[in-house]
A = this chain, B = another copy of it.
Amino acid sequence: MTTTVACAQVALRVGDAAANLATTERAVDAAAEAGARVVVLPELANSGYVFADAGEAAALAEPLDGPAVTAWSAAARRHGLTLVAGLAERGDDGRLHNSAVLIDPAGELRAVYRKAHLFGTEKDVFTPGDAPPAVVDIPSVGRIGVMVCYDLEFTEWVRMAALAGTELLCAPVNWPLFPRPEGERPSEVVRVQANAAVNRMYVAACDRVGDERGVTWTGGSVITDPDGFPLAGHRPSDDPELLIATCDLAEARNKRLGAHNDVFTDRRTDLYGA
Contacts and interface: CB of A to CB of B under 8 A. Distances in A.
B155 A260 contact: no
B195 A156 contact: no
Given A120-B258, A120-B259, A193-B190, A155 B268 contact: no
A99 to B, nearest CB: 16
A24 to B, nearest CB: 28
A261 interface: yes
Q: How large is the interface on A (under 10, 10 to 19, 20 to 34, 35 or more residues)?
A: 35 or more
A130 B271 contact: yes
A156 B272 contact: yes
Given A130-B271, A194-B193, A195-B194, A187 B228 contact: yes
A195 to B, nearest CB: 7
A156 B158 CA distance: 11
A121 B268 contact: no
A120 B272 contact: no
A117 B268 contact: yes
A154 B190 contact: no
A155 B197 CA distance: 11
Interface in A147-188: 150, 153-160, 180-181, 183-184, 187
A229 B187 contact: yes
Nearest to A194: B194
- Most chain B CB inside 10 Å of its own CB: which residue of A259, A267, A268: A268
A173 to B, nearest CB: 15
A153 B263 contact: yes
Nearest to A267: B154
B228 A191 contact: yes
A267 B156 contact: yes
Interface string A254-274: 000011110100111011110
Given A271-B130, A273-B273, A198 B155 contact: yes
